[in-house]
Amino acid sequence: MDSATPAAAGGFEPRITAFVCNWCTYTGADLAGTSRLQMASNVRIIRLPCTGRIDPMFMIKAFERGADGVIVSGCHPADCHYNAGNYHARRRFAIFRELIQFLGIDTGRITFSWVSASEGAKWRDIVNDTVTRVRGLGPFTAYRKLVVDPATVPAAKVTSKEVPA
């Protein structure tokens, strides 16, 4: 399992944020852990009540805070604890994915999946595949460069005290 082994010293290790639903994928990821499945350790999981709670803004925020990739995962269709949260989310994710693709973000950085509470092995594969793929894409420097560098902001020439009355 190549993706589960740490890259050579100095190699790029992607930071992946996972937004998962409490009822299926979080439990599935928990199962992967209790089953001692070996997987890449690059993923930080954020547990939410439902995929319906996952606002596309979360993914933008993850990129803003330095994530190189994002995983979004929840209950399979017809399995939602709240009946329809994942159906609503599916439409939003579809539109969001096309939108960011249009704005020039590589959709390879975002994985959408359905992982049920019993699919620990599928979670492992999702994690490993995503880490391998994002490692291939490299660090998301394009997004990180959007940060304002204070050094490039010209200093104000007139302070408020100097403004004539």
Partner 1 sequence: MTELRELARRLLSEGTVNAVLGWEEGPRGARPAFVTTPDGADRLIFDPRCVHDLASYLSPRRPHLKKLGKVAVVLKPCDARAVAGLIRETQIPRENVVLVGVRCGGVLADPESTAPLSETTVADRCRGCPDREAKLADHVVGTAGAGFPGPSRRAQKIEELAAMPVDRRWDFWQAELSKCVRCHACRQVCPLCFCERCMADKSLPRWIESSPHARGNIAWHITRAMHLAGRCVDCGECERVCPEGIPLGLITRKIAQVVSDRYDFRPSDDPAVPAPVGTYRMDDPQEFIL
Question: Residues interacting with partner 1, by CB under 8 A?
Answer: 56-57, 60-61, 64, 77-78, 84, 87-88, 90-107, 111-114, 126, 142-143, 146-148
State in angstroms the smallest separation of the CB of 69 from partner 1: 14
Residue closer to partner 1 (CB basis): 9 or 148:
148
State in angstroms the smallest separation of the CB of 48 from partner 1: 15
Residue closer to partner 1 (CB basis): 30 or 106:
106
End-to-end CA distance of the chain: 71
Dist. CA 103–CA 136, nearest whole Å: 21
Residue closer to partner 1 (CB basis): 19 or 112:
112
State in angstroms the smallest separation of the CB of 11 from partner 1: 22
State in angstroms the smallest separation of the CB of 126 from partner 1: 6
Dist. CA 19–CA 112, nearest whole Å: 10
Query: E strands within the chain?
Result: 16-21, 43-48, 69-74, 110-114
Residue closer to partner 1 (CB basis): 7 or 99:
99
State in angstroms the smallest separation of the CB of 8 from partner 1: 26
The tokens of 66 are what?
Answer: 């330095």
Crossing angle of helices 85-102 and 56-64, in 10° steps, is 50
Which residue, chain included where needed, has tokens 């439902």?
50
The tokens of 143 are what?
Answer: 């997004």
Residue type at 126 in one-letter notation: I
Are the C-beta atoms of residues 140 and 63 closer than 8 Å to each other? Answer: yes
Residue closer to partner 1 (CB basis): 135 or 140:
140
